[in-house]
Each structure stands twice: as structure tokens, then as C-alpha cells.
Structure 1
Amino acid sequence: MPSSSTQAACSSSSSFSDYAEAFAQYVRRLVQTLRSVVEAAALSAAEYCARLLIGQVLRLTEHTARTILRMLGRRPIQNEEIAVPFPHVAAVFSSPKYRDSQVQFLEEITNWERGNLIGKGSFASVYRGSNDDGFFFAAKGVSLSEHKQLRYLENEIAILEPLDHENIVQYYGTLNDGKMLYIFLELVSHGTLEQAYMNCRFTESQVSDYTRQILQGLKYLHSCNVVHGDLNCANILVTESGRIKLADFGLSKRMEDHSYGFPSDICSLGCTVLEMSTRKYPQSNTKKVFSVELAIRSGRGIIVPRNLPCNLRDFINQCLQPDPNQRPTAAELLAHHPFVNVSSFHADS
């Protein structure tokens, strides 16, 4: 028979676990409430900047909830199972308006309707889509008669299907309707980083935060032996809460040799960070990764403005080193560079 102290310890542990799990759910619903407030804001430039700042708070609370649930190793509690101590709070969170909809599990998308055009890339058009369940998504389509463009979309499908990361646009499925091939993706209606910096100049802390998220996505991609191959602000999406999503994988490749290809993504990252910081693509005749890489290797590289903050300038220069073998990996930059290290950044600011 267990001792009274053992029983007390077990009881205490159980109570803490229950409390922590309920708290995590409370935080997740707080995130949804804050997000609803952000989404309700008008789309003026000033309010857009405010939403970007609020996004940092949203991501912090989301991270806290995920961390607690991951440490507990339990399934998320359903809405009806949450015990909220205040009736008026319970009433708010029980409303369908605030139910957690960030992670959606779909067997397949059927009976869908194609809505308005929301973007057009180099090889495909992107439409807003919805199904009978009221689920919204992006539908990226190419005509079956466009054989060259079709190869790019088929490549994107093959690359994206096995990937699963919070900083990679989520893949939902595909459809061939006899005229078009579609890939269904997470709808990130806030647009690209290029559109974002045109609306609002990024602060240094925002560039640091976005760079950190891009690196997290790149670290995951490279661990899966995938080279993005076309990284720039026009191919990176940002949610209303400031979550970064790497997108447009038509030129991506799977690499068996880890030493080849990954440094080109780091080079593109340096150009992307410089673009976010200056609101224009670095001086170059092209955005094509191969051409930029050749220019940098031949000594005709990109000039980094000296008026940029020291850590930011050093980060970009490390990414743009002419010798690709001297460029740090995404994992090394995340772990060691002060520009994307949260504690170092705040200590310097």
C-alpha cells in the first residue's frame, strides 16, 4: 500500500497535469480571441503595422500552448471538456466563433468551388477555394495543356506532400478535373513578405523574427534533403499574426548530397533578409538564384549597406560569402548567430 506521502505526490502530480492541460487550452482560445480582434481591424497601413506587432504576442501564446501539451504527451482537450472557472469566459469560449481552427485534419477536399483569383506566379494561378464544410483553402492550378508549367506543379506536389512544419505552407491534396491540375494548400490570405514590406517598413526586430522563422523552415527542409531553390520575399507568405510560411516549391529539389544545393538557399536567405531590410531586392540584373550565385562567386556580389545594424550586416555577409563551403548552415545560424538569437538580440537592443 503506498505511503501517504506517495499518495500526496501522485495527487499533486495529477492535479498539476490537469491544470497545465486546461491552461494550455485556455491559452489557445486566448490566441483565437486575439486573432479575431486582429482580423477585425481595417486594412490601413498604420493598423497593418500594429497587427504585425500583435502577431509576436500571438505566436508567443501559441508556442506556450504547444509546449505544454507536447510536454504532457496527451491529446488536446476538446472544447466541451474545458473547465473554465468564470461563467462569462466559458460562454465566450464555447461559442463556435472562438473554436480552435488552426489545425484542420482533412481526408480529402470534395465538392469544392473555385473563387476569385488571389495570385499569379511564374507557372500557376492561385484561387480562393471553399468546400461544403465551409473550409477555405488556396487552389493553385495549371491547365493540362501547359506541359512545361505542369511539370513545375507536379514537382511542387511531390515535394510538399510529405512535409509538415509550421513554417511551410500546408499541403491538403490535389485534383485533376480533366482540364486543370490543382494543388490544394493552406490559405494565407495576408499575402507575401514583398507585399508586406511595401505596406509597412519592417523594424529590425521584425526582420529578426521573420528571419528566425525562415531559418526554422529551411532547417526542416534541409533535414528532409530538400533545397527550396527559389527563396525570396515574393515566395514567402505571412499570416495576419506574423507567422512565416515558405511557399512556391516548383523549383525545389531533393538532394542526396548534403553539400550541394543547401548553400544556395543560404545565399538566397541573405538576399531575402537584405530585401526585407531595404524594401527592395539587392542590386542585380535578375532574381534567378543561379545567376545571383554566379555573380557572388565571381566577386561581383551584392553590396550590403554599411548603415545597417552590425549584427544584421554580419548575418547577411555570412550568408553571401563567395565560397559556398564557408557559408553557415541554417541550423548553425539558428543556434549561434546573435541576429536571430532572441536573448542576444534583446540584450543588444
Structure 2
Amino acid sequence: MTTTPLSHLNNCDTNSPITSLINKHNHHHHSILLNNNDEIELARYGLRVGSTLGTGTYAKVKSAYSEQLSHKVAIKIINRRKAPADFQRHFLPRELSILQQINHLHIVQVYDIFSYGSKLCIVMELAKTDLLDYIKLIGKLNEDKARKMFTQLISAVDYLHQINIVHRDLKCENVLLDKNFDVKLSDFGFARIIQTNELSHTYCGSAAYASCEILQGIPYYAIPADIWSCGVILYIMVYGSMPFDDSNIRKLVRYQLEKKIHFSRYKPLSYECKQLILSLLEPDIKLRASIIQIKNHDWIKGRISSNINNDSPTNISLLGIGKSIPKIFNPTINNMQESTIKMMKTTINDNYHISTIHRKNSSTQIIDDSLIITKSLAKD
């Protein structure tokens, strides 16, 4: 696969290979649902289509067998006729260019990108499951298993940051697991090249994983925001529940700023793991852990003084989340978890949920008008 120069990322050059690929054969009309013609087209590329893995408003992910690679793959098919104009103009060209530049053991590998008719097809590595489904199935992870997966995730995030790429949508659904349950980071729909000390202005991702600076609707540094999201993921790994109640954005931000993170006495956790989580979910970005500090942390290194956390923290318990529960996000537990799973669990991300913060749920309160994010802000 040819590599696109970095200059194409931000300029969206209409003559670039990526943009030309997107615009190719734009005059054809196809439905988002695969039909016989779709399967015939994909067969020309040596792809025998299998089951549906996920669907979105204008995209679908299916399994397929690649005759060229001689193994199963995942194919993401985007219907450009249904995709928003801003997504096609800003986010899609950037995503495709980034996908062609990255190569890491713990990032989903992209094998090919091609278009037919109004469809764009991304052929990529097939995963077994995602982290959210895995935790829903088996419950919270023990610290050894969580350490292995989290270290792999940090390795992928560190790689991206080293080449000035920020993900901006880190969440359990985007942490895929292969047949060996090794991490494969996915979904670069909101990823972008970021320069040193450059502020980001696109408020993207899921509120449950978003840092306090993003939820306040102010320009933010994307690398520390990625770190915060990693902290939420680690908490979910070891507790099988969310660190914050996201059903009320105003209250969510207040709890984040006041460091009101509940560590349940019913779920033993090492002191080192708890301290790492606190350093990741630090509201002050100057004090928030860096990648280097994470990699050198005692918990990551396996230096554990105690596996029992018996203290009763002063932090409040959020709607009973801290109580012992067998599975994550059981809809019968409380309304917070019902709203969380509805927002979080999308097998395929449409790559265009800028207004995640401004949901249509009448119970959701908006902090102020700065949080009503519109498509016009989606410039970076």
C-alpha cells in the first residue's frame, strides 16, 4: 500500500491519492445494505463476504474471506451518499491517510482500501471481540490480565503520540482483541496529526470517556485527553463499571474536577493500581501522568506491595456502582448504566458523533451553550 505524505492530512488536497480514491465513481448509487451487486463487486477484489459484524447510519462492517491473503478479514464499507459532507471533507480523508501510515503490533492492520460506485471499502485485520463485550462476558479482569492488556494499549497510544498522531476516541469498544486476546486498537475516525503545543477544538468521542477539559467545551491538548481516556479504560478493566456517572454532564464535570472516584471495598485492588488510575484521571493536565510515567509506574512493572484495598475512601459511591455486581452494565442495575450502554455500545462507530455531549435525552443537562457542539466546529 502506498504511503500518503503527511501534508495531505490537513490540506485535504483534491488531487491527493486519498481524495481521488474517495471521489472515484461518485455518480453511482448504492444502498447502505449489501446486495448481490455489492457482493459481486467485492468478489472482484477476491473477497467472499460473510456475516455482519456491525452497522451504522452510513457504514457497515462485515467479515469476509480474502483469497489474496488466504484468511478471514473485516471489511468496513462506507456509503458516501449517506455520509455527512463534513465527514467526507475533513474526517474521512484524514482517517484514510493515517491508516496508511501506521504500523504497530497492537493497532489493527489495514490491508487495502478501494472504492466501487459510491462505496468505500477498508479491508482490515479481523478481531475476535472488543474489550467492552469481553468484560461484559467475564466481568472485571484480574490485575495481571488487566496489566497485560493495558500495557499493550499504552504501547499503541505511545506509538501514535511519538509520530504526532492523537486518537481522540479511545474507549473500550475501540480496543479490539484478537484470538489470543491481545489488544488491537481500532477506529481512527477522529484521529489527526497534532503539532507540539497545538490546541484541539473538535469536541469528539464519548462523554463517558471524555476528559473534564473536553466536557467544559474549551480548547484542549489532545495528548493528555487521550491519557484521560486510557484511565477510564483501566478503571473499567479492573472494576467492571464506570468511574463516573455520565447521565448528568454538569455533575459529571464536577465529580471529575473534584476527583470523586469511587474505589469499592468489595472489589480488592492493589494500592499501586489505584494510584495509577488517580494519576490518569487527574483533572490538572500539568499533573496528569505522561506516557513515560505510565510505562515506568510500579503497577505496570509488576511491583505490587499489596493486592488488597480495604480502605473506605472519602470519595462518594455513584448510584451504587461500587456494589458487587456479576457483569458490567447490567441494565437492571440503575438508570445510569442503562443510559451509558445505550451511548457507549455501538459495534461500529459512525465516525461523526460530534454532538455526543448534546444528547436528546431530556434528563441530560448541558453545562452551558459552549457544550452544544455543532458540525461547524468540526474543523480539526
TMscore range, shorter length: 0.5 to 0.7
Structure having the larger proportion of residues in helix: 1
Could you tell me whether the CA contact under 8 Å between 1:296 and 1:321 is conserved in 2?
Answer: no
Could you tell me whether the CA contact under 8 Å between 1:116 and 1:128 is conserved in 2?
Answer: yes
Could you tell me whether the CA contact under 8 Å between 2:49 and 2:64 is conserved in 1?
Answer: yes
**TM-score normalised per structure 1:** 0.61
Deviations 1:96-139 (A, max 9, x none): xxxxxxxxxxxxx9332322111235763211122334332111
Could you tell me whether the CA contact under 8 Å between 1:304 and 1:317 is conserved in 2?
Answer: no
The answer to whether structure 1 residue 303 and structure 2 residue 261 are counterparts is yes
The answer to whether structure 1 residue 178 and structure 2 residue 117 are counterparts is yes
Deviations 1:226-270 (A, max 9, x none): 111011111100112121011111011210125731000110001
Using a 3 Å threshold, how does the CA distance of structure 1 residues 162 and 302 change in structure 2: closer, same or farther?
farther
Taking the aligned partners of 1:330 and 1:286, their CA distance within structure 2 comes to 30
* Paired position in structure 2 for 1:115: 50
Structure 2: runs of 5 or more not aligned: 1-43, 199-220, 308-380
Could you tell me whether the CA contact under 8 Å between 2:58 and 2:82 is conserved in 1?
Answer: no
* Paired position in structure 2 for 1:332: 293
Report deviation, 1:281. Answer: 2.9
Taking the aligned partners of 1:157 and 1:302, their CA distance within structure 2 comes to 39
The answer to whether structure 1 residue 251 and structure 2 residue 251 are counterparts is no
Taking the aligned partners of 1:311 and 1:121, their CA distance within structure 2 comes to 40
**TM-score normalised per structure 2:** 0.56
Q: What is the total number of aligned residue pairs between the two structures?
A: 234
Residue 193 of structure 1 aligns with an amino acid whose one-letter code is L
Could you tell me whether the CA contact under 8 Å between 2:57 and 2:82 is conserved in 1?
Answer: no
Which structure has more relative contact order (CA 8 Å, sep 6+)? It is 2
The answer to whether structure 1 residue 206 and structure 2 residue 142 are counterparts is no
* Paired position in structure 1 for 2:206: none
Could you tell me whether the CA contact under 8 Å between 1:297 and 1:322 is conserved in 2?
Answer: no
Could you tell me whether the CA contact under 8 Å between 1:306 and 1:313 is conserved in 2?
Answer: no
Residue 295 of structure 1 aligns with an amino acid whose one-letter code is V
Could you tell me whether the CA contact under 8 Å between 1:173 and 1:183 is conserved in 2?
Answer: yes
Report deviation, 1:280. Answer: 2.5
* Paired position in structure 1 for 2:66: 131
The 4+ residue runs of structure 1 with deviation greater than 6 A are none
Could you tell me whether the CA contact under 8 Å between 2:153 and 2:183 is conserved in 1?
Answer: yes
Partner SS for 2:78: strand
Deviations 1:193-251 (A, max 9, x none): 00111111311111111111111011101001111101111110011212101111101
Give the alignment partner of residue 223 of structure 1, picking from 152, 162, 168.
162
Partner SS for 1:276: helix
Residue 160 of structure 2 aligns with an amino acid whose one-letter code is L
The answer to whether structure 1 residue 196 and structure 2 residue 157 are counterparts is no
* Paired position in structure 2 for 1:45: none
The answer to whether structure 1 residue 235 and structure 2 residue 174 are counterparts is yes
Could you tell me whether the CA contact under 8 Å between 2:224 and 2:290 is conserved in 1?
Answer: yes
Percent identity between the two aligned chains: 24
Could you tell me whether the CA contact under 8 Å between 1:124 and 1:153 is conserved in 2?
Answer: no
Give the alignment partner of residue 235 of structure 2, picking from 268, 271, 274.
274
Give the alignment partner of residue 285 of structure 1, picking from 246, 259, 274.
246
Using a 3 Å threshold, how does the CA distance of structure 1 residues 296 and 211 change in structure 2: closer, same or farther?
farther
Using a 3 Å threshold, how does the CA distance of structure 1 residues 137 and 297 change in structure 2: closer, same or farther?
same
Q: How does 1:1-150 map to 2 (within 5 A)?
A: 110-120=45-55, 124-133=59-68, 134-148=70-84, 150=88
Taking the aligned partners of 1:331 and 1:122, their CA distance within structure 2 comes to 39
Taking the aligned partners of 2:119 and 2:175, their CA distance within structure 1 comes to 25
Using a 3 Å threshold, how does the CA distance of structure 1 residues 154 and 205 change in structure 2: closer, same or farther?
same
Taking the aligned partners of 1:121 and 1:277, their CA distance within structure 2 comes to 30
Taking the aligned partners of 1:320 and 1:160, their CA distance within structure 2 comes to 29
* Paired position in structure 2 for 1:78: none
Could you tell me whether the CA contact under 8 Å between 1:228 and 1:251 is conserved in 2?
Answer: yes
Report deviation, 1:182. Answer: 1.1
Residue 275 of structure 1 aligns with an amino acid whose one-letter code is I
Report deviation, 1:348. Answer: 5.6
Taking the aligned partners of 1:312 and 1:122, their CA distance within structure 2 comes to 39
Taking the aligned partners of 2:192 and 2:247, their CA distance within structure 1 comes to 21
